[in-house]
Amino acid sequence: MHTSLWRATRAALWLLPAALAAPLSAQQSGTITGVVRSAVTDSVLPGALVSVEGGGVNLQADGSGHFLIRSVPRGRTRLTARLLGYTPERLTVSVVAGDTTHVDVRLRPPATELPELTVIGTSEDRDERRTRLERVPGSVALVQSAQLRETRQANLKDALGFVPGVYVQSRFGAADESQISIRGSGLRTNFHARGVNLLVNGMPYRNADGFTDFESLELLTTESIEVYKGANALRYGGSTLGGAINLETRTGYSAPSLSLTTEGGSFGFLKSQIASGGTAGNLDWYGSIARTTLDGYRDWAQQGRTRFNAHLGYVLSPATDLRAFYFFARVSEQLPGALAAGELATDPTAADPENRAGHWGRNYDLHHLGVQLRSQLGDHQRLEVSPYAQYRNIDHPIFQVIGQGSRDWGAEVRYENSAELFGRQNRLTLGFQPAWLDLDNRQFENLAGKHGELRKNQKDRAVNLALYGENAFGVTPRLTAVLGARLDHSIRKSRDFYLADGDQTDHRVFDALLPRVGVLYELPSLGGRLYANVSRSSEPPLLLELNSLSVPGFIDLRAQKAWQMELGLRGAAHGVRWDVAGYDAELDDEILNQNVQPFPGAPFTVPTYRNAPRTRHYGLETGVEVDLPVGVARVAYTFAHYRFVSDSLYRGNEIPGAPRHHLAAQLRLEHGSGLALTPSVEWVPTAYFVNSANTERNAGWATLGLRAEYTVAPLGLTAFVAGQNLTDGRYAASVQVDNAAGRSFEPADGRSFYAGFQWSR
């Protein structure tokens, strides 16, 4: 596989000069240029956001209201322009190959009411969600469809690699399992995810207690990804330090009638999908089935995923839209574990011998069903009701075999009112979010991956009840003040049916009132927005954390609390888009992990947790995107410093688990013939600690990547070849923190190559 893919890559590079010299008659794209003006005063409107349907273009008009969009596929396309306080304008533009089309866009005066119902999944709905993001007085990000399609789409690392402030690294190469942290959230996490809420179509994919993973999420079905950092995710879980990541799936309005995707490459990676979507009157549908397999760079690292997604929508009336979506995942994976520093240096492909001998792995089936009902109650009011249910059955051999059956269900009821207040623009949002988890939790002796004698039998429950409200008031045409709050009531219960080691029945209750205040100020001359906010978060412990080494009952863990302050600027001018944010989070009782040996000389460790009295997370996040005559350049830089402020063990030390500096950059070079070449680099320039004692570090690294892509637009075909870690560096991109056995390093894949195609019509 290595040899054939390397030959394909070399062939693509040899063909590049000839392709760049292709005659203009072979071009398949053109250019759109224009100016955005007020429909009433005829004055230019700097900072208006302009996008092309189905493309990755999402730029802002410069200080003179002008915009320029290159490499737009020939034929009829839909262009949308919008500006905070104005009604979005949509135009149909005919693009001529190799030519420039000029348009004059005029926006209507400020709208004072909610628009008519925007059917979920349509371009109007996507425009409305983008406008909502722009109105958030804090750091948010939107990864659009075209940018997703320019990646391998194997895991969240592929999708979120250029979102500053989001540190995500796969633990096992092309597999989904990842280390993920936003502003230091979940650094206690040596497996799966905590401190960041993962959602699909606005509904929780996580368990009700906040525990989640990644393996059921299919990026090939994802239309866009919204990232809300910290309390900016008020609706989607502002109680967490890291915020929320929401995956919006494709619908019949955004998906092609038929599409086929196949890609494969090094270490046995193979991913295939067949999907179809469409509309018929008031009905729309989308369906996808995808299969992913992976042998893995390391020993004992095979992965398998089968995922089915279905989406069905119906417009009941001009004011009411009903939608249901379902997804199923069958997951099987081997877990190679982490290595010691010496093992990483000598044989990074090895597995932890204990993992191999015990057949450590994770296998489950998951069913998730969600329903969304959205109704326009009048000119200024909208109501959404969204119930969901999820079932998962897990067989999980580790130091013991964990057998679990979990049932999650809940809903969101959300009301919006956009009536003017004191003659000013105003938007009030109220919401109620109940969620329940019912977990059958059993553990058995691990007999080479098989069930031995029963060692635990519990019925665990989690309840979350949340009320939230937010009001955005237009103090002046440029200044918006936002005031919000969230009230959380959380219950954690465990009833013990295995009494050989004592009765561990227990329960805890956690309550929190979480205020938030923010301001958003328009800077038309710069095409930007200045924002600032102060917020409170409170994160109750997971059932897993409370249950850890509990004899008897739950261990004594308090909820993790934080005050977070944020200041930033985002905008666009002269083909440059930027988002710069600085933050300071002052934490009380941060929940941190300790991986301990259950007995002296044990060949494995088990997790337990504690509260650190006072810690501090602060940093700077910078993202810049520049339009070039031949493409686009992207840079994302994150500076992050996390430390113990007050702690009996580690006062003054750095909190381990994430680098202080992280940079990702890429240059996408495009030609009208359909050829695109994208070199990329990821750089962690300095080592960072992997234990709280600050005695062991993970070395920094730099990797190079290259992707060559060719699109034949009339045929709906895109093919690519790509290489990663081209220098074959030996490093660990993800780590396990505070591992008592000294096994902290999870090796990244060596030099690897991939190729594939996507066809749609």
C-alpha span between 59 and 254 (Å, rounded)? 20
Residue 519, token pair as written in the block: 């301001």
Tokens for 629? Answer: 């005559």
Residue in this structure with the two tokens 């002796």, named with its chain if needed: 445
Measuring CA to CA, which residue among 460, 355, 363 is closest to residue 406?
Answer: 460
266 contacts 752 by C-beta, under 8 angstroms: yes
238 confidence band (pLDDT: 50, 70, 90): low
Range with lowest mean pLDDT among 26-30, 208-212, 732-736: 26-30
Q: What is the separation of C-alpha 415 from the centre of its chain, rounded to a whole number of angstroms?
A: 26
Least confident residue range of 64-78, 103-117, 633-647: 103-117
SS3 17: helix
Residue 19 has pLDDT above 80, yes or no: no
**Which residues is 734 bridged to in the sheet?**
746
- 621 touches 164 (CB < 8 A): yes
Domains located in the chain, CATH noted: 1-110 (2.60.40.1120), 246-760 (2.40.170.20)
Mean pLDDT of 578-588: 97
Mean pLDDT of 409-426: 94
Looking at residue 167, its amino acid is: Y
CA–CA distance, 760 with 717 (Å, rounded to integer): 7
- The set of residues, in sequence order, having a beta carbon less than 8 Å from that of 412 and lying 6+ positions away, is 202, 203, 235, 384, 385, 386, 431, 432, 433
Provide the percentage of residues in the chain whose pLDDT is more than 70: 93
pLDDT, residue 465, reads 96
pLDDT in tens, 426-440: 999 999 999 999 999
pLDDT at 29: 78
CA-to-CA separations, 442 to 69, 194, 403, 459, 602, in angstroms, rounded: 57, 22, 5, 9, 22
Secondary structure class of 755 (helix, strand, coil): strand
The C-alpha atoms of residue 284 and residue 302 are separated, in whole angstroms, by 37
pLDDT at 639 over 70: yes
* Mean of pLDDT values over 401-415: 96
Give bridge partners of residue 524 from the DSSP assignment.
none
Alpha-carbon distance 441 to 493, whole Å? 12
Nearest to 351 by CA among 409, 298, 307, 277: 298
Q: Please report the pLDDT score of residue 85 as a whole number.
A: 62
Which pair of structure tokens corresponds to residue 334? 């081997």
Tell me how far the alpha carbon of residue 6 is from its chain's centroid. 31
In angstroms, rounded to a whole number, what is the distance separating the alpha carbons of residues 489 and 208? Answer: 12
- pLDDT, average across residues 187-193: 88
Q: What per-residue confidence (pLDDT) applies to 40? A: 65
pLDDT, tens digit, for every residue of 452-484?
999 999 999 999 999 999 999 999 989 999 999
Residue count of the chain, please give it: 761
Number of H-type helices and E-type strands within the chain: 8, 40
Give me 234's structure tokens. 């008020």
pLDDT for the residue numbered 116: 59
* Backbone phi, psi, residue 266, to 5°: -60, 155
Q: What is the mean pLDDT of residues 366-372?
A: 98
Tokens standing for residue 136: 């958030």
Please tell me the pTM assigned to this model: 0.87
User: How far apart are alpha carbons 121 and 500 in whole angstroms?
Assistant: 54
Q: How far apart are CA 711 and CA 700, in angstroms?
A: 36
